[in-house]
Structure 1
Amino acid sequence: MTSSTTDVGADLEGRVTGPLLRAGDPSLAAEVAPFNRARTPRPVVAVGATCAEDVSAAVGWAAMRGHRVAVQATGHGLTSSLAGAVLVTTKRMAGVEVDPVARAARVGAGASGAQVIAAAAPHGLMPLAGSSSQVGVVGYTLGGGLGPLGRRYGFAADHVRRLRLVTFEGAVREVDVDREPELFWAVRGGKGNFGIVTELEFGLVPVARLYGGGVFFPAEVAADVLHAYREWAPTLSDETTTSIALLRLPPLPEVPEPLRGRFVVHLRIAHLGPAAEGAALAAPMRAVAPALLDVLADMPAAALDAVHMDPTEPMPVRERGATLTGLPAEAVDALLAAAGPDLDAPSLVMVEIRQLGGALARPPAVPNAVAGRDAAYSLLAVAPEDGPASAVVDRLAPWSTGGALLNFLGAATAERIRGLWSPADLERLLAVKRRHDPANVFALGQPIDG
């Protein structure tokens, strides 16, 4: 590898149609800027891919020169600085096509959930989008993909029909259940460990409207609301997906005035049924205490972001996650002690519990490597630093399954990541890894082989 940063990648010039940027290039910072600003990517080269051929050229070049490779669409899942790596940015590969007859979407590597929702909604269809439609579809889906429709329809990865993948040597492979079945199994749940997905095809679900949104309660009733939730949530059918979060909201103009600068408990509901039915289901929780803000209503499915109301502006966060066997009273008390309103922990941005079960617990029609189906709840703690978020997860350890949802795990060692799967599934994943990435080129992000 040449020692001059201005010459790095010179022999890649002309082989890619998108921009090729090096350290010191004034356009590099904007090209690699992630949504999660906790880390600043510092790749040795960034390739702004416009097509699968660009990705192939960049990966093949990097592998030949001993560089590891990372990929970024929106940058929500950034877990390292990518120092010394080749970063392939895919935001220019954002095409979306919807086939309403086949109830399917085909998307490029850089497409966001919002783009798919906009294309599918006019046909009365929806993707299994996440809590924020700004997140890139490919990374979210390959990591499992848990969204507000999950208890009814499962993980987003369960609906993948086909994908196009660039492997470590720069080969472009068409992958589905008939072609490369083991690789197809592994990528859907094993995320970016096996290559870069440049195109994804997946099924859509027939959802045009839902009853959903959230109810915000004040800090003083946090214990009452959380204990009511732990008793109420298990009574719900698969048609209803819920979560509850402890939020420390900033005093910013974009935050609704009743919530601005406050600690709140945010109950989220997405019910796939008539509005009257949804309101009846929500009534016991609404009766716990007066709300600061109640935005539960019948809504078009395209307004799904209104359920979680995730931040829309980039911010620095560190995430730590775990999956839980249940949510008994003792676990709720531990959660309140670790993250409740009486705790002096202003750096804790959010701690949420998402209800799993339903279709999320059942094996999909075409098996995949998604971990966490045995859990009852997912726990996620978010803070600007590692310490506060990790402390919350540690406090709930007695009720942990020992695993986590890959997308919610955050930065972790390869050993911790490998622990998400059963020994049999892990060995299967590693066998696919050894076959399709023997040089461990794709060892950044959330590696199963450190």
Structure 2
Amino acid sequence: MSRTTPDDTVGHIPSTAFRADVVELVATLDGDARTADDPGYAEACAGYNLAGQRRPDVVVTAHSASDVVEAVTFAAAHDLPVAVIATGHHAMRPLVGGLLVVTSAMAEVHVDPEARRAVVGAGARWDDVVRRTLEHHLLPVHGSSGQVGAVGFTLGGGLSPVLGRKYGWGSDHVVALDVVTASGELVRACAEEHAELFWALRGGRSNLGIVTSMEIELFPVDRFIGGGLFFDGEHAQAVLDAFTTATASAPDDLTLSLAFLRLPPVPGVPPLLAGHFVLHVRVAYLGDAEGADRLLAPLRAAAPLLADTVEETRAEDFARIHEDPTDPAPFSEETAMLAEVGPAAQQTLLDFVGPSSDAGLHIVELRHLGGAFDVTRAGAGAIVAPSAQYVLWVVSIGMPADDGDGIAEARALVETMQPWSTGTRYLNFAPDDGHPERSFTPADWSRLQRTKAAVDPGNVFRAQQPIVTS
């Protein structure tokens, strides 16, 4: 079989023989497969993060687990590396050649209200999942955006802005995973079967196999107090001080984060934020309004409010806490887990992104951990952060080729905050910078490498953020 060759304009140009093989592949699929000369190829390869340019030899839009099996088997026969995306929110690694599996059509959600569990398809978004679970007054450990893929979020750890401090990482509440391995076998990974793969996937993401569905635990929540407090950026010191004071004594039912926002005046950015330096305190509280008012009073009094959207909120409206953009955009990320944000760390952060700085970074956020994040559950996956109290997340918007200054500034900020870092980082926010080991403890990193060698000795899934790079 002759391999394809790269073309800087349209991706790979398949040979006649390769096209014929793809036609045979299509005949086995419930979904479809396309090469670069087929209509719909570019749309099939696109994801939310437009910085992740993908030009595979073939893209398979999977509609079933059997489609994923066929795709991985095809890739093995043609010596193609394999990557997978659902929504592509985190996928930034360029893909030139290889085979891309897109699971967005696999969006089934089945709820067992008696067991308080749900089986979630590989392409289901959090909006899909929450809508179904709330029919039974139950909620999963979900993300900040309803548009994010539930499986990818959970495999990367799963940091919830609503249930996290109460129940811990989303990966802690995975019961089982259906996985297509590098050999093209569909297996069920859980505590009793394929236990090492089960451990590794929950925190190691898709470098070890393609998850076609996951079974997760649910919790009896259908309303909470949530929204945002907005302040002019000139009050950064007072608001940051109030935020760190509030998080130091916050009950597990309260989740807070603080974002320093310098968003450009482009379509989709609200007028309150567009072209302004604004502080946004994100709030979720699993108690009543009276309790929320008491806990938030010092924050509300820290500085004049531009807006206060905190109110009783239906659980299906969770996205209004963070107000994440819904339109695709190119962006780059940096992150670190911080053990504390005391006075010295606060001043360092303010010097870098406060009102007197000339920072160009679009989003700098501190997400509070603690609570259940401090507890390592029996049988937990490959994400452990008992000493971390905050996640620092830094975002620069733009295509990497045009955003070198922003990417460098984001890296410089994370480096500047290293004195307060735990030495690890949250994988779902981590850049693909050639240092995957930085997202894990040394012991977990060694264990992940051993698991990778056992389940994917040929490194078929090397097109993902790597565990090994050869």
Fold match, TM over 0.5? Answer: yes
Aligned pair partner of 1:310 in 324, 327, 335: 324
| 1:415-439 deviation per Cα after TM superposition (whole angstroms, max 9, x unaligned) | x212332332222212211111000
Query: Is the contact made by 2:262 and 2:273 (CA closer than 8 Å) also made in structure 1?
Result: no
2:259 is matched with which residue? 245
**Residues 365 and 205 of structure 1: is their aligned pair in 2 closer, same or farther, counting only changes over 3 Å?**
farther
- The answer for the alignment partner of 1:332 in structure 2 is 346
Residue of structure 2 in register with 1:10 after alignment: 20
Q: CA distance change for structure 1 residues 9 and 339 in 2, over 3 Å: closer, same or farther?
A: farther
Tell me by how many angstroms 1:198 deviates: 0.4
Partner of 1:73: 86
Contact 2:171 2:380 in 1 (8 A): no
- Per-residue CA deviations over 1:173-199 (Å, capped at 9, x if unaligned) read 011111111111111111112100001
How far apart, CA to CA, are the structure 1 residues paired with 2:251 and 2:182?
Answer: 44
Secondary structure of 1:304's match?
Answer: helix
Any residues of structure 2 matched to 1:386-397 within 5 Å, and which?
386-397=407-418
Q: What one-letter code is carried by the residue in structure 1 that aligns with 2:441? A: S
Deviations, residues 188-240 of structure 1 (Å, cap 9, x unaligned): 11111210000111011111111111101001101111122122211111111
TM norm structure 2: 0.92
**Match runs of 1:252-331 below 5 Å:** 252=266, 254-331=268-345
Q: Is this contact kept in 1: 2:376–2:384, CA < 8 A?
A: no
Aligned equivalents of 2:156, 2:19: Cα separation in 1? 30
Q: Deviations over 1:123-159 (max 9, x none)?
A: 1111111111110011110010001120001111111
| 1:50 match | 63
Q: Which residue of 2 aligns with 1:366?
A: 379
Q: Does 1:403 align with 2:424?
A: yes
1:412 to 421, 425, 433: 433
Do 2:425 and 2:440's aligned partners in 1 also have CA atoms closer than 8 Å?
no
Once residues 267 and 171 of structure 2 are traced to their aligned partners in structure 1, the CA distance between those partners, rounded to angstroms, is 37
Q: Does 1:375 align with 2:388?
A: yes
Over the aligned positions, Cα root-mean-square deviation in angstroms equals 1.5
Counterpart secondary structure, 2:131:
helix
Contact 1:9 1:45 in 2 (8 A): no
Contact 1:16–1:54 at 8 Å: present in 2 too? yes
Superimposed CA distance per residue, residues 285-340 of structure 1 (whole angstroms, 9 cap, x where no aligned partner): 00011111110111111111111111111111000111111001111111122222
1:441 aligns with 2:441: no
CA distance, structure 2, for counterparts of residue 112 and residue 256 of structure 1: 24
Deviation of 1:364 after TM superposition, in Å, equals 2.1
Q: Does 1:184 align with 2:215?
A: no
User: Structure 2 residue aligned with 1:154, among 162, 168, 181?
Assistant: 168
Q: Tell me the CA shift for residue 63 of structure 1.
A: 2.0
Give the one of 424, 428, 438 matched to 2:443. 424
Partner Cα separation in structure 2 for residue 79 and residue 256 of structure 1: 26
Distance in 2 between the 1:411 and 1:56 partners?
Answer: 27
Query: What letter matches 2:416 in structure 1?
Result: R
Q: Is the 8 A contact 1:6 1:23 kept in 2?
A: no
Task: Specify the code of the residue in structure 2 equivalent to 1:447.
Answer: P
Q: C-alpha offsets along residues 222-263 of structure 1, whole Å, 9 cap, x if unaligned?
A: 111112212221111111111100001232464443333211
* Contact 1:79-1:445 at 8 Å conserved across structures: no
Q: Which amino acid aligns with 2:113?
A: P
Q: Structure 2: 5+ residue runs without aligned partners? A: 5-12, 398-402
Shift, 1:69, TM fit: 0.5
User: Secondary structure at the residue paired with 2:213?
Assistant: strand
| 1:69–1:88 Cα contact (<8 Å) kept | yes
Local SS of the residue matching 1:258: coil
- 1:355 aligns to what? 368
Residue identity in the other structure for 2:87: T
Distance 2:341 2:394 in 1: 16
Amino acid corresponding to residue 363 of structure 2 in structure 1? M
Shift of 1:162: 0.9
1:169 corresponds in structure 2 to 183
Task: Give the equivalent residue in structure 2 for 1:208.
Answer: 222
Q: Is 1:39 the counterpart of 2:52 in the alignment?
A: yes
State the AA in 2 paired with 1:197.
Answer: V
Shift of 1:9: 5.2
CA offsets, 1:380-417, max 9 Å, x none? 1000332222122112111111110111112221xx21
Q: What's the counterpart of residue 9 of structure 2? A: none
CA contact (8 A) 1:356 1:376 kept: yes
Contact 1:209/1:300 (<8 A) preserved: yes
Moved over 3 A (4+): 252-260
* SS of residue in 2 equivalent to 1:257: coil
**Structural mapping, 1:26-175, within 5 Å:** 26-148=39-161, 149-175=163-189
Structure 2 residue identity aligned to 1:379: L
Amino acid at match of 1:48: T
Distance 2:174 2:45 in 1: 28
Deviation at 1:40, TM superposition (A): 1.8
Matched positions, count: 447
Percent of counterpart pairs with the same letter?
Answer: 44
2:189 aligned partner, one-letter code: V
Secondary structure of 2:272's match? helix
